[in-house]
Amino acid sequence: MGVSESLEQPIIFLPNHDTRMMLGSTRSAYEFHTKPSGYEQFPTMILSFANNKGGTGKTTTAVNLATALAQLGRKVLLVDLDPQGSTTVSLGFQKSKLLYTVYDALAQSRKIEEVMLGTKVENLTLVPSNLDLAGAEVELSSIPGREFVLREALAVARHRFDAILIDCPPNIGILTVNAIVACDLMIVPVQSEFLSMDGLPTLLKFMRIVKSRAKTDFDYRILLTLFDKRTGLSKKVVQQLRTSFGDHILKIVIPRSIRMAEAPSKGIPGIIYSPRNSASEEYRRLTKELLEGSLADTVLTKLGSTAD
């Protein structure tokens, strides 16, 4: 399926603000307000990041794309839907000290606004996670309409944020199903190595099943990550994937980066920890593509069909 090269209308977000790190402590959810009067009609895009294989750069992509959007003045909500809590750690939080997490929102014991945390990145808000979420797989299995729980929890957030990004666990289960049902666009990060290609057809088949049974509408794009231009294997994998999946493969490729790998241990997004790094530059290019390029066209089309 091709991607239209032109936009009938641009995606419009809130006005840009100065880009800088917040120096104060984290904020509670009650400091976040709805979009200013006059901006409510502009749609909120929801992106999910999923791969049933670990180590593909899924969390790194979610964190850095969310940060790049926030740096451009967009109000962004980042949802950590992985019990490992890697996204939460990447933003400098200690999982053991969290009072509430996304688990509480899915269990419907807390509203999503009550579990939100402000971060050190201006305009970026986090719904954190820890191992408590592991119990949600079992608990949700007995709830009618369990695949729609996250989408319903995020309904209020759609009026407060310009973009909502969801980092999924590295498996196919009810949490990933919820993320698929909730999103407008699924980003599938794939490491530029042979074994990463092996599980991709299974994930895409699973996504089609969810789309059919849940009667939801979303599109997907594959993002090549951890690319090593020095190896012929990486180049061969990229070529094979482009041949097999055509326009579903994003043109932007994220290179392998030691600095990007170091950033989570510092509790800082990679594009802030090492802003001139080649991977940081590509994540900023990806953000621009999401806002202005053919990827924006895809999101806008899906948002339009949802509104209809």
Return the CATH number at 267.
3.40.50.300
Q: Is the pLDDT of residue 11 over 80?
A: no
Is 15's pLDDT higher than 70? no
Structure tokens at 166: 């969801």
What is d(CA 125, CA 6) in angstroms, rounded to the nearest whole number?
31
DSSP state of 121: B
Handedness of CA 203, 206, 212, 218 (dihedral sign): negative
Residue type present at position 255: P
Residue 213: Cβ within 10 Å count:
11
220 φ, ψ (degrees, to nearest 5): -140, 155
- Tell me the pLDDT tens digit for each residue of 103-155: 999 999 999 999 999 999 999 999 999 999 998 888 888 888 899 999 999 99
What confidence category does residue 276 fall into, taking pLDDT thresholds of 50, 70 and 90?
A: very high
Could you list the residue range(s) of the whole structural domain that residue 98 is in? 29-307
Within-domain flag for 277? yes
In a domain, 138, yes or no: yes
pLDDT over 70, % of the chain? 81
Rg (CA), the chain: 18
Other beta carbons less than 10 A from residue 18's beta carbon: 7
Q: What's the whole-model pTM score?
A: 0.83
The number of domains in the chain is 1
Q: How far apart are CA 50 and CA 167, in angstroms?
A: 7
Instruction: Answer whether residue 14 is part of any domain.
Output: no
The enclosing H or E element of 254 equals strand 249-255
Q: What is the pLDDT of residue 218?
A: 85
Report if residue 12 sits inside a domain. Answer: no
- Tell me: pLDDT of 88 over 90: yes
Average pLDDT (227-234) is 78
Residue 1 lies in a domain: no
For the chain, helix, strand, coil in percent to 5 are: 45, 15, 40
User: To which H or E segment does residue 125 belong?
Assistant: strand 124-127
User: What does the alpha-carbon distance between residue 302 and residue 195 come to, in Å, rounded to a whole number?
Assistant: 31
**pLDDT of 24-80, one tens digit each?**
334 343 333 344 333 344 478 899 999 988 889 999 999 999 999 999 999 999 999
Q: Report the pLDDT averaged over residues 210-224.
A: 89
Residue 232: what pLDDT?
76
Assess if residue 38 is contained within a domain: yes
Residue 257 located in a structural domain: yes
- Checking if the pLDDT of 3 tops 70, the result is no
| pLDDT given for residue 70 in this prediction | 96
Sequential DSSP letters for 20-79:
-B--S----GGG--PPPTT-TTSPPEEEEE--SSSSSSHHHHHHHHHHHHHHTT--EEEE
In a domain, 17, yes or no: no
